[in-house]
Amino acid sequence: MRVMKLIVGLGNPGRQYERTPHNVGFDVADILAARHGGSWTCERRFEAMTAEIVVSGVRVTLMKPLTYMNLSGRSVAAWMSKNGGEASQILAISDDINLALGRLRIRADGSHGGHKGLLSLIHALGTLGFPRLRIGVKPAGETLDDVVDFVLSRLKPGDWERLVECEEQAADAVEMILAKGLTAAMNYFNRRS
């Protein structure tokens, strides 16, 4: 089992993006830092906030890139240049407009699926071969005319409460990945949600 070294929560910096679907990656990183005593530090060389945590004996870096979503790969590439490791040791956490609100999907690799943050990571790493945890943000029965406007806007209160529950489950999923490996987490969470 290859041990994760870097957990990247994808999102956008700034108060105007807080509590929006596009920032679920940041939210999950914050949950993990709070659960495991991580303290956020601004790392200018990585253009990111980072925190170190230990989960089930595994030391891992949490990252929230400050480059804005479309350039997230720049932060990851800078971190990899200093710390080494393989793309398969990076876990990216992102929203997914193609998944129903509250669903989790863990994959060992794959395409960007239209997500600009994942696309940036793929370009920076030169491979599709890094794990990702995608969090569904599409409310049931809604047709989205403007996807960009939706992911950068606040959700209705009931939908937001459901998403917050899902973010906690996503943090549980990351903990299982670190404790038992990617396959075990995929088998449990992909079916469960």
Catalytic residue set: 22
Closest C-alpha to 115, from 72, 168, 177, 163: 72
d(CA 121, CA 109): 12
User: Could you tell me if 107 and 132 are in contact, meaning their C-beta atoms sit under 8 angstroms apart?
Assistant: yes
User: Could you tell me if 24 and 94 are in contact, meaning their C-beta atoms sit under 8 angstroms apart?
Assistant: yes
Which CA distances in Å does 61 have to 58, 99, 177? Answer: 10, 27, 14
